[in-house]
Amino acid sequence: RQEIVEAMAASIGASNVKVWVWGDVIFKLAKQVGASAMYRGIRTWEEDGKPERYLEVQNLCWPTLASCGSPMSTYYVAGPPRYRFVSSTLLRSRLKSGEAIDDIVPQSVAAKVREAYDEKL
């Protein structure tokens, strides 16, 4: 996944993007790299609001309770409405049935996405 996200960022000229693979609670990584806030992408509040609020509460409470650290503020960036229907479920479904995915992932990484999911489906 890291390679895919890095390739997507490069394809749009985003040279200031850093991608980490992390297996623990995200506020620990944010603290480790010196971040004071987190920005998360969402489709809409209707689609992603409840689980995102849970993570926001976790990022506010756990740093204080677990390590006497400062709470981590979370800000949200909504994607364009035309992509509201896109989800990992849709992606997996299309990959399973052999359908095109070029309209839901950047064309520059479609082959890498297929390859990444090949062994998992």
**Mean pLDDT confidence for 20-27:** 86
Residue 10 pLDDT greater than 80, yes or no? yes
Helix (H) or strand (E) holding 112: helix 110-118
Residue 68 has a pLDDT of 65
- Give the C-alpha separation, 89 to 37, whole Å: 29
The 10s digit of each residue's pLDDT in 32-47 is: 898 888 888 888 888 8
Q: Cβ-count burial of 37 within 10 angstroms (0-12 exposed, 13-18 middle, 19+ buried)? A: exposed
Confidence of residue 111 (pLDDT cuts 50, 70, 90): very high
Q: How many angstroms separate the Cα of 37 from the Cα of each of 42, 53, 65, 92? A: 16, 15, 18, 31
Q: Strand, helix or coil at 39?
A: strand
Residue 73 has a pLDDT of 82
The 10s digit of each residue's pLDDT in 47-103 is: 888 888 888 887 778 777 776 667 778 888 998 999 899 999 999 999 999 999 999
Sequence-separated (6 or more) residues with CB below 8 Å from residue 62: 25, 27
